[in-house]
């Protein structure tokens, strides 16, 4: 981790000072982020730690074709849940194989599974429900009797969770909340700009703790989605293009192309910051990719991208304020016209079509945009390659696709040989994978606990979570 690596270079007294400072601002983290983290831990513990819930978890995983990469990485670090993880996936595979038959592709349940797989994750859904409940409670506190403590909590919310909260507020209260929060972001942005202009190098620890700009714009730290960075780098060298990737036996070729694009994007961010170029085309704005840059261990780069993300968030909130002002003006104009009709008894000549509300378009994170484009390009290129017999044969000898990318490729595959090849190949790989899991599970006779070795655990999570 970034902060751990930086801490190694500090003397012991410096480390003690940092730890003390972190303890003092422990309450400054986003409370909704803490709720999400707690929901994550609770879901994983209940879904894979309680045998009574294994069947329910199996149904959920079947319907979503697995977990998102972030929760896949989280599961990989939960060695104590290995028994539950293997039990769930051994139950999922026989449920899933019949649904992948080509004759089932037009069934409603299968259609929902395939088209929703890229964004579906049972753990994320559980956490998002907890976040919505927490944000709703804060919104009710702000909408009811004035509660200064609730208003003060706005300043500690991260941008993403503040936007969720703001959507729950009434119009007049939302205006006050937006103005207060944009002042908080402006103060944080001024601090980071001042830090960048100063002669001393920015310190990521101070940036996060003493000036919690990173926490405001990115929320709670998230784990890296690809925990096997060194092995993955070697794989990317072995498979420089998609052509080599389709025959590679140990990784999904679309996952490899997405990871290649992620690394190119990271390099682009570094070059853009180094040469002080305009960052709107590359600098991240979502929490996941802001933390991706933060984990690189370059405090100055972190400060630069955080400053940019703060400005993007400020611009978005100011547009929302202007939209609310415009909506109030339109409401006043319409009320005036209605009053005119009642008083004079004549229809107003003004065309109300000209009284259009101001729309606020959300800005998509450039990091997310790059990965989506890379994924779509890899999907299209793969389908084009598989039209040829020699590449279909190479694909059949290789790893195939993780379940998430299989769904994306399968729904776009033309009816005929290619679709049949994909469906039958994925069924065969899942059956072989289930057999491999059965072989590698060790049953310890004294306590009758099931232990899964790391290699098959990683293979299972790669197959059902999509990270390379």
Q: How confident is the model at residue 208 (pLDDT cuts 50, 70, 90)?
A: low
Q: Which residue has the higher pLDDT, 6 or 201?
A: 201
Given a contact cutoff of 8 angstroms between Cβ atoms, the answer to whether 155 and 180 are in contact is yes
Given a contact cutoff of 8 angstroms between Cβ atoms, the answer to whether 82 and 452 are in contact is yes
Please give the pLDDT value at position 226.
Answer: 62
In the three-class reduction of DSSP (H, G, I as helix; E, B as strand; rest coil), residue 449 is classed as: strand
Phi, psi of 169 (to 5 degrees): -90, 155
Question: Structure tokens of 407?
Answer: 């769904």
pLDDT surpassing 80 at residue 302: yes
Q: What is the pLDDT of residues 73-125, one digit of tens each?
A: 889 888 888 889 988 999 999 999 999 999 999 999 999 999 999 999 999 99
- What gap in Å lies between CA 289 and CA 224, rounded to an integer? 9
Please give the pLDDT value at position 442.
Answer: 52
Q: b/e for 437-466, b at 16 or more Cβ within 10 A?
A: beeebeeeeeeeeeebeeebbbbbbbbbbb
Query: What DSSP character marks residue 202?
Result: P
> What percent of the chain is predicted at pLDDT more than 70?
81
Q: Which positions ≥6 away from 105 have C-beta within 8 Å? A: 111, 114, 410, 419, 423
* Nearest in space to 178 (alpha carbons), one of 7, 351, 318: 318
- What gap in Å lies between CA 122 and CA 47, rounded to an integer? 10
Q: What is the pLDDT of residues 28-63, one digit of tens each?
A: 478 999 999 999 999 999 999 999 999 999 999 999
- What gap in Å lies between CA 330 and CA 336, rounded to an integer? 10
Please give the pLDDT value at position 146.
Answer: 64
Q: What is the pLDDT of residues 323-361, one digit of tens each?
A: 888 888 888 887 777 765 545 555 554 544 445 566 677
Q: What is the pLDDT of residues 11-27, one digit of tens each?
A: 333 323 323 333 333 33
Mean confidence (pLDDT) of the chain = 83
């Amino acid at each position: 981790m970034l902060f751990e690596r930086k801490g190694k270079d500090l003397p012991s007294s410096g480390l003690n000072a940092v730890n003390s400072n972190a303890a003092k601002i422990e309450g400054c983290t986003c409370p909704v982020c803490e709720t999400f983290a707690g929901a994550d831990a609770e879901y994983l513990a209940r879904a894979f730690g309680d045998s009574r819930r294994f069947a329910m978890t199996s149904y959920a995983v079947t319907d979503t074709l697995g977990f998102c990469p972030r929760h896949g990485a989280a599961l990989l670090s939960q060695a104590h849940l290995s028994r539950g993880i293997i039990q769930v996936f051994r139950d999922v595979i026989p449920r899933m194989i019949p649904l992948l038959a080509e004759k089932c592709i037009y069934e409603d349940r299968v259609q929902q599974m395939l088209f929703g797989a890229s964004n579906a994750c049972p753990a994320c859904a559980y956490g998002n429900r907890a976040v919505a409940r927490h944000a709703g409670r804060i919104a009710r506190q702000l909408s009811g009797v004035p509660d200064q403590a609730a208003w003060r909590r706005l300043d500690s919310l991260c941008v993403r969770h503040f936007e969720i909260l703001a959507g729950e507020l009434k119009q007049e209260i939302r205006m006050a909340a937006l103005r207060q929060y944009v002042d908080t972001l402006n103060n944080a942005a001024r601090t980071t700009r001042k830090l960048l202009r100063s002669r001393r190098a920015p310190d990521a620890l101070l940036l996060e703790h003493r000036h919690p700009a990173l926490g405001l714009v990115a929320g709670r730290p998230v784990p890296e989605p690809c925990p096997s960075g060194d092995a993955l780098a070697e794989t990317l060298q072995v498979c420089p293009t998609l052509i080599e990737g389709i025959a590679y036996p140990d990784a999904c070729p679309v996952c490899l192309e997405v990871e290649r694009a992620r690394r190119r994007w990271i390099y682009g961010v570094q070059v853009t910051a180094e040469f002080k170029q305009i960052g709107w085309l590359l600098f991240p704005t979502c929490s996941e990719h802001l933390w991706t840059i933060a984990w690189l261990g370059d405090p100055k780069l972190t400060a630069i991208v955080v400053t940019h993300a703060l400005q993007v968030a400020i611009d978005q909130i100011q547009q929302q304020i202007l939209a609310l002002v415009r909506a109030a003006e339109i409401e006043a104009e319409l009320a005036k016209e209605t009053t005119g009709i009642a008083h004079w008894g004549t229809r107003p000549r003004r065309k109300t079509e000209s009284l259009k509300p101001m729309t606020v378009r959300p800005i998509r994170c450039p990091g997310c945009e790059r990965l989506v484009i890379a994924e779509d390009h890899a999907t299209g290129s793969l389908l084009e390659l598989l039209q040829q017999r020699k590449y279909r044969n190479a694909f059949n000898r290789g790893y195939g696709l993780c379940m998430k990318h299989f769904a994306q490729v399968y729904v776009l595959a033309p009816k005929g040989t290619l679709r049949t090849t994909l469906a039958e190949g994925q069924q065969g790989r899942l059956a072989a994978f289930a057999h491999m899991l059965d072989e590698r599970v060790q049953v310890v006779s004294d306590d009758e606990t099931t232990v899964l070795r790391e290699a098959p655990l990683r293979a299972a999570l790669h197959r059902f979570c999509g990270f390379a």
